[in-house]
Chain A
């Protein structure tokens, strides 16, 4: 708003005439604008699309790129315009911000691309107008969650995390059982014992067999010792697990307060309390109550089941809907209970003895259970009873779809997260395959590029990564003098570590001792080059030279003709760069000393 209103400043100043005649003292001078330039059009060329606007429009926001002198960095002297190599679509929105004062977020735009553009132009996203702000925030949140998910899954799949302490490894193992086999084992063992514990609790109460005395005993009392042992075993496992988790937790305080830990504690406390307490009659009642809490062990399954976790999360997020449901139900129950009570007051032997007693009837009717233990007998009672059951259906049916849709949304989000992770893996695999395919083309292009010149200057050679690794492996494994390059061995030797080659610039090459590769060839070439510079008299009529080597050597070698022939025929043709391993040009009469083997890369050097 301030942008356009600035144009009305002259009007506001002029309106000051109104209070002049009533002023007590003369008006102060209006502040003159220094450096008032004539307004001019400036051209903004964004990736070929030209935008034009007034300079003053841009200067409305002096703390952004376009409004400050920062845009001078992008000024193109030849075309007298400002060139930005950015997205023209988003620039449209940004320029509109200067014009209208409102920043809009287009829905079709990707949120991270948009954020990047905003950051580039120095505009804070908070300025986005109300019309688009919610959309922007929603998409940003979604994106952040997605990134977090991806990061988590990446972290989990990273092979070796650097220097994780023992405690951190343990915590990771607990949180994500797929990280190591031990974690998986632990996961299943605890799951098994939770199941065992729950089944024991259940079976304990089943009557099994009679004892002399014709008394039906529940299994729990008949095989008391066995059940006690089972219980002890389970509780020991749970205790150990809890203590281990407590030890490994990054924030112990937060862990203690978390829901799962509370469930764990509640699951094992009854046992310990039972141990402590004796079989005193007074407290045994309370003791029995405590055993009820053992059923909470079933909630420990939520660590094992994602669906259960989602259910719990849904209930938590639908707390308001559930609250509304509860509240409306309570209201309806009270109303209908009162009505039923007074309606049935007249009838004799009515079960509706009081309003609280009618609560039971109302609840049973509203949830359409209809036990039939309390039934209205008067006509009025029956009428109100039917109204009660109809309204019950409505009241309960209202908040339920909200909860259901929440659950479905969260569940699908989780499904989507898993699916996305799987898709991402597949996508990365495909990218890797595509990369190796195109990497060769890239290598070819690199051959004639700057990298080559740089390497030449240092007498090194660019080789394929795989070959490089192969070399390293080979060189580390084999170390025997080669008898195939006599001329070299007479003078120099090559080191065995090709890996170090890449980092050193040498002029004296030690003895060659490995099956040569292209790298070797280059080194030998360098050797020979040196040789040739030392022996300029050697000339030969024929040579088949590596073109590159030609270029590289020429500036250094005084000899007009370089007297070496190097042929390197690497075995995998796919890795063969043409420039490197060109067979001798088809000049007739060449007799080249080539001895090639198909199994290894051998360089034959003949210096004539």
Chain B
């Protein structure tokens, strides 16, 4: 009797061990993206471009998904002089559309497709999404300030002219003056898109992303 229960207990212990191992294995299981044709249909890239993108993606992240740490690392290699982690964090949240903490290749491709091949409307939409940190549909001054600080951090300390402490704040004020039409302290998506479309500089800049790949 005792032996029987002991054996049961032992087996259970083993089983839990197995499940732990299984979980560990699950964590390292590779994520495989959808078929190439599907992605080609969904995004605006050609097959070849997708191939090149995937090769680069897979090289950097063999497991098939990017988590935030890797994302920040990659991004910081492009901007070695400053601290780009905050901005990378916001970017990551913008790419991670389903908010599961990791960016898969599909997310990556969809995001890039919008940014590089999308219409101006889509791009502006995406930018709004980036600025709206808590994704509630409104950009508040605090959110804007965070974003601004992140951008300035990324540029680093060695800029000319030298950045002062309240440069971000001033920048935010300018931005809100331009964007906030009804002066209610928040910027909605429509206000944002409207104001951007009126601004020539922004429009011109948006055109430049066509042939980045």
A9-17, A135-143, A429-437: which lies at the interface = A9-17
Beta-carbon contact of B212 and A14 below 8 Å: yes
Beta-carbon contact of A20 and B74 below 8 Å: no
Beta-carbon contact of A10 and B53 below 8 Å: yes
Beta-carbon contact of B57 and A23 below 8 Å: no
Question: Which of A3, A6, A12: most chain B CB closer than 10 A?
Answer: A12
- Chain B: CB-nearest residue to A7: B56
B11-19, B20-28, B29-37, B203-211: which lies at the interface = B203-211
Q: Is B3's beta carbon under 8 Å from chain A?
A: no
Q: Is B65's beta carbon under 8 Å from chain A?
A: no
Return the CB mask of A14-39 against B: 1 if under 8 Å, else 0: 11011111111111011010000001
Q: Is B8's beta carbon under 8 Å from chain A?
A: no
Which residues of the other chain, A, contact B131 by a CB distance below 8 angstroms?
A: 18, 21
Which residues of the other chain, B, contact A100 by a CB distance below 8 angstroms?
A: 59
Known interface pairs A4-B60, A5-B77. Does A10 touch B205 (Cβ–Cβ under 8 Å)?
no
Q: Is A327's beta carbon under 8 Å from chain B?
A: no
Q: Is A8's beta carbon under 8 Å from chain B?
A: yes
Beta-carbon contact of A21 and B202 below 8 Å: yes
Beta-carbon contact of A7 and B77 below 8 Å: no
Beta-carbon contact of A12 and B151 below 8 Å: no
Beta-carbon contact of B208 and A27 below 8 Å: yes
Q: How far is the CA of A21 from the CA of B204 in the complex (A)?
A: 11
- Chain A: CB-nearest residue to B211: A32
Q: Is A349's beta carbon under 8 Å from chain B?
A: no
Q: How far is the CB of B117 from chain A (nearest CB, A)?
A: 10
Interface of A is mostly: helix
Q: Is A1's beta carbon under 8 Å from chain B?
A: yes
Beta-carbon contact of A21 and B209 below 8 Å: no
Q: How far is the CA of A6 from the CA of B94 in the complex (A)?
A: 22
- Chain B: CB-nearest residue to A39: B52
Which residues of the other chain, A, contact B148 by a CB distance below 8 angstroms?
A: 22
Q: How far is the CA of A23 from the CA of B171 in the complex (A)?
A: 9
Beta-carbon contact of B78 and A12 below 8 Å: yes
Q: How far is the CB of B77 from chain A (nearest CB, A)?
A: 5
Beta-carbon contact of B126 and A17 below 8 Å: yes
- Chain A: CB-nearest residue to B77: A5
Beta-carbon contact of B201 and A8 below 8 Å: no
Beta-carbon contact of A18 and B123 below 8 Å: no
Q: Is B39's beta carbon under 8 Å from chain A?
A: no
Q: How far is the CA of A597 from the CA of B182 in the complex (A)?
A: 127
Q: How far is the CA of A4 from the CA of B56 in the complex (A)?
A: 6
Q: How far is the CA of A22 from the CA of B176 in the complex (A)?
A: 10
Q: Is B50's beta carbon under 8 Å from chain A?
A: no
Known interface pairs A7-B59, A22-B151, A39-B52. Does A14 touch B205 (Cβ–Cβ under 8 Å)?
no
Q: A12: which of B52, B60, B75 is its contact (CB, 8 Å)?
A: B75
Q: B112: which of A5, A11, A18 is its contact (CB, 8 Å)?
A: A11
Beta-carbon contact of B57 and A7 below 8 Å: yes
Q: How far is the CB of B120 from chain A (nearest CB, A)?
A: 11
Beta-carbon contact of A10 and B208 below 8 Å: no
Q: How far is the CB of A580 from chain B (nearest CB, A)?
A: 66
Beta-carbon contact of A21 and B196 below 8 Å: yes
Which residues of the other chain, A, contact B174 by a CB distance below 8 angstroms?
A: 24
Q: How far is the CA of A385 from the CA of B87 in the complex (A)?
A: 68
Beta-carbon contact of A17 and B115 below 8 Å: yes
Q: How far is the CB of B108 from chain A (nearest CB, A)?
A: 7
Which residues of the other chain, A, contact B151 by a CB distance below 8 angstroms?
A: 18-19, 22
- Chain A: CB-nearest residue to B113: A14
Beta-carbon contact of A5 and B130 below 8 Å: no
Which residues of the other chain, B, contact A11 by a CB distance below 8 angstroms?
A: 108, 112
Which residues of the other chain, B, contact A4 by a CB distance below 8 angstroms?
A: 56, 59-60
Q: A10: which of B74, B116, B127, B192 is its contact (CB, 8 Å)?
A: B116
> From residue 164 to 213 of chain B, which have CB atoms closer than 8 A to chain A?
171, 174-175, 192, 196, 200-202, 204-206, 208-209, 211-213
- Chain B: CB-nearest residue to A15: B91
Which residues of the other chain, A, contact B212 by a CB distance below 8 angstroms?
A: 10, 13-14, 30
Beta-carbon contact of B208 and A29 below 8 Å: yes
Known interface pairs A19-B151, A22-B151, A26-B201. Does A8 touch B56 (Cβ–Cβ under 8 Å)?
yes
Q: How far is the CA of A373 from the CA of B124 in the complex (A)?
A: 95
Q: Is A2's beta carbon under 8 Å from chain B?
A: yes
Q: A18: which of B77, B87, B201, B204 is its contact (CB, 8 Å)?
A: B87
Which residues of the other chain, B, contact A12 by a CB distance below 8 angstroms?
A: 75, 78
> From residue 130 to 186 of chain B, which have CB atoms closer than 8 A to chain A?
130-131, 147-148, 151, 171, 174-175
Which residues of the other chain, B, contact A17 by a CB distance below 8 angstroms?
A: 115, 123, 126-127, 130, 206, 209
> From residue 407 to 440 of chain A, which have CB atoms closer than 8 A to chain B?
none
Known interface pairs A22-B171, A22-B175, A23-B205. Does A8 touch B60 (Cβ–Cβ under 8 Å)?
yes
Q: Is B47's beta carbon under 8 Å from chain A?
A: no
Q: How far is the CA of A13 from the CA of B53 in the complex (A)?
A: 14
Q: How far is the CB of B81 from chain A (nearest CB, A)?
A: 14
Beta-carbon contact of B90 and A7 below 8 Å: no
Beta-carbon contact of A26 and B115 below 8 Å: no
Q: How far is the CB of A126 from chain B (nearest CB, A)?
A: 21
Q: How far is the CB of B180 from chain A (nearest CB, A)?
A: 13
Q: How far is the CA of A22 from the CA of B200 in the complex (A)?
A: 13
Q: How far is the CA of A100 from the CA of B62 in the complex (A)?
A: 12
- Chain B: CB-nearest residue to A16: B209
Q: How far is the CB of A11 from chain B (nearest CB, A)?
A: 6
Beta-carbon contact of A23 and B91 below 8 Å: no
Question: Which of A24, A26, A39: most chain B CB closer than 10 A?
Answer: A26
Beta-carbon contact of B205 and A26 below 8 Å: yes
Q: How far is the CA of A32 from the CA of B209 in the complex (A)?
A: 12
Q: A13: which of B52, B130, B209 is its contact (CB, 8 Å)?
A: B209
Q: How far is the CA of A24 from the CA of B167 in the complex (A)?
A: 13
- Chain B: CB-nearest residue to A20: B205
**Interchain Cβ contacts under 8 Å between A and B, 24 examples:** A2-B77, A5-B74, A8-B60, A10-B53, A10-B116, A10-B212, A13-B212, A14-B115, A15-B115, A18-B87, A18-B90, A18-B91, A18-B131, A18-B147, A21-B127, A21-B131, A22-B171, A22-B175, A23-B205, A26-B201, A26-B205, A27-B204, A27-B208, A100-B59
A-B pairs, 7 with minimum CB distance: A7-B56, A14-B115, A27-B205, A4-B59, A26-B201, A12-B78, A13-B212
Other than A8-B74, A17-B127, A21-B175, give 14 A-B pairs with Cβ distance below 8 A.
Answer: A4-B60, A8-B57, A10-B53, A11-B112, A14-B111, A14-B116, A15-B91, A17-B209, A18-B131, A21-B124, A22-B148, A24-B174, A24-B201, A26-B205
Interface residues of chain A, those whose CB is within 8 Å of chain B, are 1-15, 17-27, 29-30, 32, 39, 100
Interface residues of chain B, those whose CB is within 8 Å of chain A, are 52-53, 55-57, 59-60, 74-75, 77-78, 87, 90-91, 94, 108, 111-112, 115-116, 123-124, 126-127, 130-131, 147-148, 151, 171, 174-175, 192, 196, 200-202, 204-206, 208-209, 211-213
